[in-house]
Amino acid sequence: MTDPLRSLLPELYQPLLPEVFDTLAPTESKATCASCAMCAPTGAPAAAAPDVTYFRPDTKCCTFEPRLPNYLVGAILADERPDMAEGRRRVRAKIAARAGVTPQWLAPPAKREVLFGAAWRNAFGRSLVLLCPYYERDGGLCTVWRHREAVCSTFFCKYDAAADGEQFWKSVRGLVGYVERLVSLHVTRAILPGHQPRMDQGLTLEELEDRPPSDADHQALWGAYAGREEELYLQSYERVRGLDRAGFQAILADEEYARREAQLRDTHAILTSPRLPPRLVPRPDLAARPADGGVLVTTYSRYEPLLLTEALYDVVQAFGGEGAVAEVRERLLRDQGLDVPEELLLGLHQYRVLVEP
């Protein structure tokens, strides 16, 4: 852990975020984007490992369309650096298409969100239908990465601390996502007083048929900024950029933000000071099958199955009876001559092979 959380988020945030974002972020050495850890090894067909989920090399994990808050859309439009040219072009094309385009967000079309919700479990990382519109397939890179949102900033396919790492990054995602909601709504209402986000009433006819909203609906949503959408996004960016830290934190002063911040602190404490629970049992829904070299188990994540030797799998099963961890360790040493290190048991707990009863 060497870098503070704020340094891993869009540059607009870095001088503004509260001090909890000085928390040191874990290094996730297993999640490698340039050489995707979720793609099948060269020459290894996916069918040879039916319990392992592989991603397509031309999609990787970018089979998700982010919901960009208005001020980050403005940051993209205002960023004239050469490496942002393609991102600016794609964002402008999406604004012109109007689908999913609101004063608060540049969001996926509603129909796409329904499709993603129904398909992600079986198709994430493996379907071109779900490919992010900001992803450049030829280079395998994101065209808006510098100004990415909460999900893209915090998703990893594998975690060095297994489930403890996953829980930590989920808490970061929940906190940053809530920041996005509060701040984007705040600046929207500053520019369009009285603005109310659209209530979810299911797909409209236009959304179902992959058409933009009617001119009347678009005008009602955007008011004086209908036809000037980019201007609103740029103003949103300038308003956030013009805040000092105190002004930014004043927007975040509510109970839900405080709850999410406390959760981040709690998950970070577990991550940095893991403890071995006094009692452990095998995970009740532990998925296991024989494999070359031992037993393949899938626990907290189907993206990171774990190969246990048969001897280690037998140790796991030894915790299925009564007794505290210390008692089971003593019994294994007495009856089988096995001195099972606490560090090994802690690792099995982090992978949630062994869990608290």
Per residue in 68-88, pLDDT (tens digit) is 999 999 999 999 999 999 999
Q: Say what the pLDDT of residue 45 is.
A: 57
pLDDT digits (tens, 9 = 90+) for 3-48: 999 999 999 999 999 999 999 999 999 988 888 889 888 766 554 4
Q: Which residues of the chain have pLDDT under 50?
A: 47-48
In angstroms, the CA 276 to CA 84 distance is: 47
Continuous segment of H or E residues that includes residue 141: strand 141-142
- Decide: 39 and 60 in contact? Cβ < 8 Å: yes
Name the one residue in this structure whose structure tokens are 């060269």. Answer: 42
3-state secondary structure of 308: strand
Euclidean distance between CA atoms 178 and 260, whole angstroms: 8
Q: Give pLDDT, residue 47.
A: 47
Q: What letters, b where the CB count within 10 A reaches 16 and e where it falls short, cover 162-173?
A: bbbbbbbbebbb
- For residue 237, the number of C-alpha atoms closer than 13 Å in the C-beta half-sphere is 19
Letter for the amino acid at 126? R
* Amino acid of residue 244: D
Q: What does the DSSP assignment read for 98-111?
A: -TTB-SSEE---HH
What pLDDT shows up at residue 201? Answer: 74
As a whole number of angstroms, the distance between CA 278 and CA 247 comes to: 45
pLDDT of residue 50: 55
Length of the chain: 357
Structural domain boundaries of the chain?
A: 3-272, 281-355
- Specify the amino acid at residue 179: V
Give SS3 for 272.
helix
Count CB atoms within 10 A of the CB of residue 255: 7
Share the mean pLDDT of the chain. 93
Tokens of 184: 């984007």
* Residue 221 φ/ψ region, left for φ over 0, alpha for ψ in the -120 to 50 degree band, beta for the rest: alpha
Q: Which class for 309: exposed (0-12), middle (13-18), buried (19 or more C-beta within 10 A)? A: exposed
